[in-house]
Amino acid sequence: MVLLELAFKSLRNRVFATSLTVISIALSVSLLLSVERAKRAAEEGFTQTISKTDLIVGARSGSLQLLLYTVFNMGSATNNVSWKSYQELKKNPAIGWTIPYSLGDAHRGFRVVGTNEDFFKYYHFRGDQRIELQSGRILEGLWDVVVGADVVKKLNYHLGDKIIVSHGITKGEGVVHHGDKPFEIVGIMKQTGTPLDRAVYMSLEGGEALHIDWKDGAMPTRDKMIPANQIRKEDLVVDEITAFFVGAKSRIDTLRLQREINDYKPEPLMAIIPGVALSELWGGLSYAEKVLRIISWMVVVVGFMAMLIALTTTLNERRREMAILRALGARSSQLVGLLVFESAVLTFLGVALGVGLSVGLIALLKPWLESEFGLFLGGPALTGFDFLLILITFSGGTLMGLIPALRAQKMALKDGLSVKL
């Protein structure tokens, strides 16, 4: 149809103003989509901080507290789980595997976790991702430690470096260093993008060995100290851990297992389902994502306003053109159609460019975002919801074109063909 051709030629004629409008729409659309994508990645990353673990078990306290000190390296446990209870519960035939988790020591601001080789075997995050080493090997000897990627980056460590573990979680005054018992870095973990990157891992016995010569929570005097080379792994008895992770043999057993652990008589314990707890926690943070979304919609509205201004100002210059078309017999509804079509073309180009910009830029920056910020942008580049957003943006922009178009129509019907300034 000739009016469509006219619209294209007219837009091409005003290519500078047109491109600016398209770019402003494109930028706002790409911001909107990128925020959505980042939000999705953040939510996925957050709720998948730990996966495949059916239960986390610790001393009875708040479920949030348990989640925070096990999965997020935050806060501390008020009580421990005795080794005896752990061994007993482990025998439950519904349990497939467990990972013991012992907290309490730190290294230069990073937590030290006592665990065993099952940690490297069974701990999963982001679906089926497992801990991998970028160099070295996993824990074997008593004085071995494996360190997370962020620890290495921050403290610039290498394999074979000796590190000293301090008692207590915080840095600063009152912290006692176990200077007499240095550990050796035998493995360095690959970046996981989870709190795992910010911890140091040693064997359960290693943690025990640190305190072997301690009595009633106090440091030994110099003469009672047992030197490191006289301690052997076999001599150490672990009598408590902070928590443990459980993988059920079958998902169906999870709830029953949880109930059994919660009802465990010899010791007050608590089991939480990490997936549920993580979703709840994320839900509590969702106001932040709402604010983000509102802001990006506001940016889209500003983009539309730029288009509205561009269309309205050019409309004044184009009243002559409209009068000519009217004189040639174009219906006023056709002129409205022409202007709305123009804004539809502008919005379409803007949205298409915006989508390309957002998808392309994220694809380009993905490796960098992952390695530098641990922001893993998994999942599809565009979801059904994104398409809904795109559709809303497109219709919004097109409808926006109705405002100047109807204004032009009203003026034309009232004033006829004469164009007065």
Residues between 312 and 331 that touch other proteins (CB under 8 A):
320-321, 323-331
Please report which residue ranges of 48-82 form alpha helices under DSSP H: 63-71
8 Å CB contact between 28 and 302: yes
> Residue 250 phi/psi, 5° resolution?
-135, 135
Return the sign of the alpha-carbon dihedral for residues 393, 399, 401, 407: negative
- Should residue 88 be labelled a site residue for ligand ATP when binding is judged by CB under 6 A? no
- Should residue 333 be labelled a site residue for other proteins when binding is judged by CB under 8 A? yes
Structure tokens at 369: 């975002």
> Of these partners, ligand ATP, other proteins, none, which one is at the site of residue 320 (CB under 5 to 8 Å by kind)?
other proteins
> Residue 319 phi/psi, 5° resolution?
-65, -35
- In the complex, least distance from residue 331 CB atom to ligand ATP, rounded to whole angstroms: 20
**Choices 96-104, 135-143, 180-188, 410-418; region in contact with other proteins by CB under 8 A:** 410-418
Q: Which is nearer to ligand ATP, 91 or 414 (CB)?
A: 414
**Choices 2-10, 31-39, 208-216, 242-250; region in contact with other proteins by CB under 8 A:** 2-10
- In the complex, least distance from residue 414 CB atom to other proteins, rounded to whole angstroms: 5
Site size with other proteins, rule: CB under 8 A: 23
* Residues 6+ positions from 30 with CB-CB distance below 8 Å: 353, 354, 355, 357, 358, 361
- At residue 180, the 3 state secondary structure works out as coil
Q: Which is nearer to ligand ATP, 235 or 415 (CB)?
A: 415
- Should residue 268 be labelled a site residue for other proteins when binding is judged by CB under 8 A? no
- Should residue 415 be labelled a site residue for ligand ATP when binding is judged by CB under 6 A? yes
Structure tokens at 362: 């994220």
- In the complex, least distance from residue 322 CB atom to other proteins, rounded to whole angstroms: 10
- Should residue 410 be labelled a site residue for other proteins when binding is judged by CB under 8 A? no
Whole-number Å distance between alpha carbons of 408 and 405 = 5
- In the complex, least distance from residue 317 CB atom to ligand ATP, rounded to whole angstroms: 19
- In the complex, least distance from residue 418 CB atom to ligand ATP, rounded to whole angstroms: 6
- In the complex, least distance from residue 413 CB atom to other proteins, rounded to whole angstroms: 8
Whole-number Å distance between alpha carbons of 95 and 53 = 11
Interface map 356-395 toward ligand ATP (x if CB under 6 A) = ----------------------------------------
Whole-number Å distance between alpha carbons of 80 and 156 = 33
- In the complex, least distance from residue 12 CB atom to other proteins, rounded to whole angstroms: 7
> Of these partners, ligand ATP, other proteins, none, which one is at the site of residue 76 (CB under 5 to 8 Å by kind)?
none
Nearest alpha carbon to residue 34 among 281, 349, 365: 365
- In the complex, least distance from residue 333 CB atom to ligand ATP, rounded to whole angstroms: 21
8 Å CB contact between 235 and 148: no
Whole-number Å distance between alpha carbons of 294 and 413 = 40
Return the sign of the alpha-carbon dihedral for residues 317, 319, 321, 324: negative
Nearest alpha carbon to residue 231 among 178, 285, 161, 162: 178
Contacts with ligand ATP by CB under 6 A lie at 415, 418
Contacts with other proteins by CB under 8 A lie at 2, 6, 9-10, 12-13, 320-321, 323-333, 414, 416-418
